[in-house]
Amino acid sequence: MPVANGRSGAPKGRGVQHKRAAADSQELLGLYRRMLLIRRFEEKTAEMYQRAKIGGYCHLNLGEEATCVGLAAGMQPNDYLFTNYREHGYALARGIEPERVMAELFGRETGVSHGRGGSMHLFDWDKRLLGGYAIVGGQLPLATGAGLAIQRKGQNDVVVCQMGDATTNIGAFHESINIAALWKLPVVYAIVNNGYGMGTSVAAGSSIEQLHEKACAYGIPGVEVDGNDVLAVRDAVREAVERARSEHIPTLMNIKSYRLKGHSVVDPDRYRPEDYLRQIRAADPIHALGEQLRKHGAIDTGGLDQIDAEIERQVDAAVEFADESPEPNPEKLFEFSYATEVPNQPASLPGQEPWQ
């Protein structure tokens, strides 16, 4: 369950504490399906990377499925989401079709970014996923600016800005939250704290290990959340989003989650102790939710196996779609360089004759 930070310095009466909302078996099954889709999708992504179908950098949400799904479930469809480069699961949780996500990883024209972005730059305006960002913390100033735009336009939307734990150590983190708190912008800053910034532990990289306590410098609520509990994440995000919407108070969330593999698909993950790895594998959020559903009679083992088989087919279909999709036409390389048409826009690479 989320826990209010008693030392956050948040003014009294701002509602950091909350009650857990109920969820019926159908809702829980829906959450389970989305979590399992992310798990199977990411496992297949790792396989496709090894088969050289996917190039470049590639970071997986394996183990963080409850955080991805819970965060998306706590938002409204009109709210905006900015993420870092580990964003496949968030794209799927926001409802983007697996085929379009996989096609983007394959660099195909049918991908969510028309094959121009790849793993770290998924974007879908209709789902209000405004990008994954490859530069650590690059999304924070942009998300804060989006919050300012919403405020200036008098709109009722909220921005959720996801980041990794190590992002809390850079200047843009402090600058962005300071501005959001000062100007009362409708932004929720969600730290997905998987314990390691690349290969450096939070304890070794931050003078304050409880990252939500950094909220005290800005007089906003700081909330710690169990990222393995999809309902806890959903409820905490929902409360923070509605506080931002109705009271114009930002929140800093410390969602403690765990990645089952290394920082990226090429990371051998030799810096984390084996005892630690055994502990996080034993706390697998998908297995835990499946057992909960089975224990309460919402579904039996055969039903869980059937869901798994259905999702396996869905992911296989996404790979087939991506594999059969066309690659971008080189003549359209600069098509999305600008949001609007620009005079004398470049149409060729250096040393080439301009395309007609």
- What is the number of other CB atoms lying within 10 angstroms of the CB of residue 109? 15
**Average pLDDT estimate for 328-334:** 84
With the C-alpha atoms ordered 128, 129, 135, 136, is the resulting torsion angle positive or negative? positive
Which pLDDT score, from 0 to 100, does residue 354 have? 60
Architecture of domain 3-332: 3-Layer(aba) Sandwich (3.40)
pLDDT surpasses 70 at 123: yes
The percentage of the chain sitting over the pLDDT mark of 70, rounded to a whole number, equals: 92
Q: Which two tokens stand for residue 288?
A: 């835990």
**CA–CA separation, 327 vs 47, rounded Å?**
20
pLDDT surpasses 90 at 8: no
Which pLDDT score, from 0 to 100, does residue 24 have? 84
**Average pLDDT estimate for 193-219:** 94
**Average pLDDT estimate for 69-92:** 97
Which residues have C-beta within 8 Å of that of residue 26, sequence separation ≥ 6? none
Instruction: Evaluate whether 9 touches 16 at the Cβ level (below 8 Å).
Output: no
With the C-alpha atoms ordered 32, 35, 38, 40, is the resulting torsion angle positive or negative? negative
Which pLDDT score, from 0 to 100, does residue 2 have? 36
Question: Which residue type does 136 have?
Answer: V
Instruction: Evaluate whether 28 touches 227 at the Cβ level (below 8 Å).
Output: no
Which pLDDT score, from 0 to 100, does residue 19 have? 55
> In the structure, what pLDDT confidence band is assigned to residue 335 with cuts at 50, 70 and 90?
confident
pLDDT surpasses 60 at 6: no
pLDDT winner (highest mean) among 15-19, 156-160, 329-333, 343-347: 156-160
Listed residue (86, 191, 180) closest to 132, CA to CA: 86
Q: Which two tokens stand for residue 143?
A: 């998300």
Boundaries of every domain in the chain = 3-332
Which pLDDT score, from 0 to 100, does residue 11 have? 34
**CA–CA separation, 117 vs 8, rounded Å?**
38
C-alpha 215: how far from its chain's center?
Answer: 21
Which residues have C-beta within 8 Å of that of residue 97, sequence separation ≥ 6? 318
The string of DSSP letters for 16-81 reads ---PPPP--HHHHHHHHHHHHHHHHHHHHHHHHHHTTSS-S-----TT-HHHHHHHHHTS-TTSEE
Which pLDDT score, from 0 to 100, does residue 351 have? 64
**Average pLDDT estimate for 40-67:** 97
The percentage of the chain sitting over the pLDDT mark of 90, rounded to a whole number, equals: 84
**Average pLDDT estimate for 100-111:** 97
With the C-alpha atoms ordered 147, 150, 153, 156, is the resulting torsion angle positive or negative? negative
**Average pLDDT estimate for 245-260:** 97
Q: Helix, strand, or coil here: 109? A: coil
The string of DSSP letters for 288-332 reads HHHHHHHHTTS--HHHHHHHHHHHHHHHHHHHHHHHHSPPPPGGG
Angle between helices 65-73 and 230-247 in degrees, nearest 10: 40
Which pLDDT score, from 0 to 100, does residue 343 have? 84
Q: Which two tokens stand for residue 260?
A: 């089952």
Q: What are phi and psi of 267, to 5 degrees?
A: -85, 120
Instruction: Evaluate whether 57 touches 26 at the Cβ level (below 8 Å).
Output: no
Which pLDDT score, from 0 to 100, does residue 332 have? 82
Q: Alpha-carbon Rg of the chain, whole angstroms?
A: 21
> In the structure, what pLDDT confidence band is assigned to residue 355 with cuts at 50, 70 and 90?
low
Average pLDDT, the chain: 91
> In the structure, what pLDDT confidence band is assigned to residue 65 with cuts at 50, 70 and 90?
very high
pLDDT surpasses 90 at 339: no
pLDDT surpasses 90 at 290: yes
